[in-house]
Structure formats: structure tokens, C-alpha cells
Structure 1
């Protein structure tokens, strides 16, 4: 294993040997160039060995970044969903990377894991979110165990935090109409995103992955087959579950709005694209609208009216369900529109929104005697 300067570029490279190829009987030589410093080349070399070579890793040299890369490589090999891998990457960068940047993995204890959990709680994260981060932490430490850097996972025997039943917040139709009045003319693309969310109960990732090929304007329906992957490119993967693949009927007024927007979009993007069929349906500039764009726009618009009830973007999905329940829609229809795998999930989340039937039952009994 060597780190040296490249005479041609004056930048650092690493040069390692990974045994001998049994077919050619030649040395497996790996060279990677373009590092600014010797330390950068050394770190890259250690990461490459950890993720690609069948060599033992020193417990002193292994880092959390290495654990993450090895975990990611395993997930890719096992063909985990790309959206799942991206979600883990987002969590790792947001909560783990900086916190464990200088950690000595071989010396981490059960107490250190509890301290990290407390740090997450102090950030204001919900018990449910913290539990998910601790599952990821345990997964990372399992990699260290498999690589024989530590004998036992320090996350063992850490109990899940008690998860309180989520409070379902939603807007009524009147409150949603109030929200729609706050948009400016040039914000029509975002207005359409939230209109679809309230009208269909679709998840925001499902909405942002829509192209015109998913919209049947004649049949007045949306075919949900994918969800947006976080990143700089407009890419998607299969949705949350198999039952999430579904067709949702939409109202005629929304069809008219979509038809008009499609014409506007073609004019707006004509200088950049010949065909808009494969583009995100909300795109109005050369780049697509991503999760962060939506979150920032939503927060900005909600601030324009202090009397508007504050809810999350995901609560628009709950608002759709509340509207359906209020209008006495059948439970099975709600399940199908939301893409739940079982009716039990629908009841577990929204059961408390259904009007009580106790009085109705007691009245029927009263008529018997």
C-alpha cells in the first residue's frame, strides 16, 4: 500500500495490491489518482480497502464513513430499493456524519449510544424518528462486528422509546381553500402540487415523481407507480409498498386545471425541451422541483396568513382522508386511494376520525325490549 505524488498532475494517488488473480496469475493492482493531500489519499485508500478488498481492517483506522460505505455497498448488492438507500444516506449525513467524525469505534460503549439518542431527542425529533435513527446506528455497528473491529454491538439491549399515538392534524375544505388564496400567479406549479395532495391523498414523493404519462386526462385518473428519489437528478423508484401502486380517480375540475397547466408548461419549457411527456408535470424551469423546494415554498406560503392553522405537508394526506370520512366514503375505497396494504392500517391511523356508532347500537337494542 503506497501513497505518492503523481508526477504528471502533482496530486496524490494510492497504489494497492489485492492479491493475485487466480486466472491470469497477475497481481490485482488498484490505483486511484487526484487527491489534494497525502492524508486524503490515505483516507481514500483505507475506505477502498474496507469496501472492496478482502483485507483485515484495523479497529484504530476504521471510521464511521467506512462503516456507512460498507453498509451501503451491502444494500446495493442485496438490491435494496434505491429510495431506501437514499433515505439512509440522508439520515447518515444529517445525524451521524459530523457527530461520529472523530469517534474511536473500538471504544464506543452502550452508554455512548444512549448519549447519542439523547442528543437526537434534544434536537426535537419525535420518538418514532429517533427509534429509526437508532435502528440505523445498530445496523452500522453490526458492520463493525462483522469486520471484527468490535466484539459486540453496543446498541444491543437498547429498548425502543415509547411511541405515542400520532396526532392527526388536517385542514377542512374551507381551510384548504384559504391556503390556496395565498399563492401568487407565478407559483401555479406549487399550487398544483398541493391541490393534488389534498385531492388524492398521495404521498409527496409519489406526487413529485409524476410525469404526464402517469396522468390519464380522458379517464380522469392518476396512475401511481413510483416515488421520487432524493438527489440532483429527476429519478424515481418503486413506491413504498406493492399496494402503493394504484390508480386514483380525480375530479373533473382538477382535470381541467391539469390540462391548462400542461399547455402553459409546454410554452414555458419550449426553449429547453421539444417534448414534455417525460418531464415532471410540475416543472416550469429547466430543473425539476425537489423535496426541499416544496418544503421551503410551503413554509413560505403558510407564513403569509397568521390565521391559517399550521399543519405539515404530509397532513394534506390526512386532510384528504378526513374529507372522505366526513362524506361517509366506504373504508375500502379510502384504503385503495391511500395505497394501504390492509384495511387494518387504515383503521389504525384514522379509526378515531370515524363517528362513533355507540348511540346507534344502543338505540337498536332499546327497540328490542
Structure 2
């Protein structure tokens, strides 16, 4: 029985770089081969896009005081531009402890990558690769609910029906037995949410009741949305802020009912385990719980038509100047294309 020929190890990779504000391109770069001990070479299948964050990065608007916290693994250049930046990557390991397995890591958009083994997460075979690109945002949603200390059947709302807001709604409905109300200003997005088939109630801002919710998550990415969230909660109501607004100025009315009704605003950010869970839950345990929630096929409805790596510069140029209506975006690479066509 003949053995298959050894797999060729590439010495050149291609990666997406933001070259100037609002403009990017695919560049070639040299890979460090042979692969160092403790690292694995990945052949990329998919990368995920974080629209809000990557828009700010692509426009050169990351505040100086946030740049250290915002840096991603394997980032190249700097936030002053040019920069190689991205969100998550799924690829097949060519060598190392997970050889021939599909693994997940945080990494910029790149067709081949050399990644420390400790940063790799082997993915269960029963989770479709496209759905797995939701993992970071789903973990963000889970952490936000933990921060809120929500208990059903308290009335709960979500301002902003983007990907994080909808994943919060998904978890509240399926794991907390809640009936969240989505408040969304964009009529196209409201239609898309209704077509998900999740049985969510979606309201435009003018229809949203005021002072009736115990809890509201703000996920619109707009300062005006935070005011809507504050107005929606009643006595001792809590607003969980999951949007990152960078240097966007926000004007809030903290007169009126805010003070005497003892309303609260709490920021939730995924890099730190939510305080109510922090003492007894590790990052690994939170990740394992997130993977369990990823088993649901309901999540597949959130994934927009795929973007090829070759067309990524054009897509990103549009993203930098316009908020997309769709929810979750994945970039596909040639090794995944045959599997995409079979789906």
C-alpha cells in the first residue's frame, strides 16, 4: 500500500491589510518555515468579520488609549495604518497536535497562518464551519447576559438587531426561557429579523414602550440607541452596554426619570469574565458553554452569503462607509469552496 506524498508547505501567505483610511488590499508575506516548535501551520477555510470593530480599524479611528487592548493576535503594522487586522479564523491544521483537524483561532484575514498551538481550539465535527464563525460573538452575548444577572420572566428588551443583539435574543429565548423584544430603527433589518423564524417581537424606535422593562441590552452601536435603552427601563432598571463607541460622542438625558428611578448603566466586554461568574468560571469553561449553544441549527439563518477572499478588499471598502443590513459575514478561501458548493 503506497503512502500519500508529503504535503507541500507554502512559504508565502496572502493577507488583507488596511493600507489607508477606508482602503485595503491583499498583500503577500513570507511564512516562517520550517514551522517553529509549539506552532501549527493552518490552511484557512474561513475568516469572520466583526463589522463595527473592523470599520473603526479600517477608518483609522481606534482611540490611542484603546490600542493596546484592541490589538489582536498576529496583528501586523499599527492602528495608525497600514495594519493587518481581523477577527477569527477557521482552518485545517497541516501539522502539530491537531493535524488534519479543523481548528478555530483569533487571527487576521490570511490564507495560511502559523499560530501557537495554545491558541488553537479544535472544533467538534457536528458544528458546521460557517456556523462556527459565530463563536466569538456568541461568547460576547453569553457574557453580557451573565453580566446582567437576568432571571426570567422579567421583561427584557434589546436595542439594536445586529449580530450581537440577535445572539443575545437567541440565548435569552432558548436558554433563559425569556421573550425579548427587539427595538430596531432600520426597516430592512426589521424585515430580516422577522424572516428568521425565531418568533421574536420587533419594534421600531417610535413604537417602543417606555419605563416597562427590567433590563435592556444596548447593541446598536449608536449613541441615540443608548438613550432609547435608558428610556425603556423602569424603576431600578438596568441597561447593559455591549456596543463599543470608540470616540463617538454620546449625549444622554440623565434628568427626568433617570435619577429618581435609580436606573443603571453597566458596560459588558468579553475579554473579562462577567463578575457574577468570574470566581467559579474560567475562559475555557465559558468557551465550552458557547460551543454547546452553537449546536443549534437556528443560528444558520444569521449567516449572510459568503464573501470570497479575493473580493474582500471591495467588500471592506463598502463596509467602511455603510452599515450592512445583514447580520454575520464570513470570508471563504479556496480550500472551503468545494464544501460550500455541496451545502
Instruction: State which structure, 1 or 2, has the greater radius of gyration over its C-alpha atoms.
Output: 1
The structure that is helix-richer by fraction is: 1
Greater relative contact order: 1 or 2 (C-alpha under 8 angstroms, separation 6 or more)? 2
Q: Same fold judged by TM-score > 0.5?
A: no
The TM-score with structure 1 as length reference comes to: 0.27
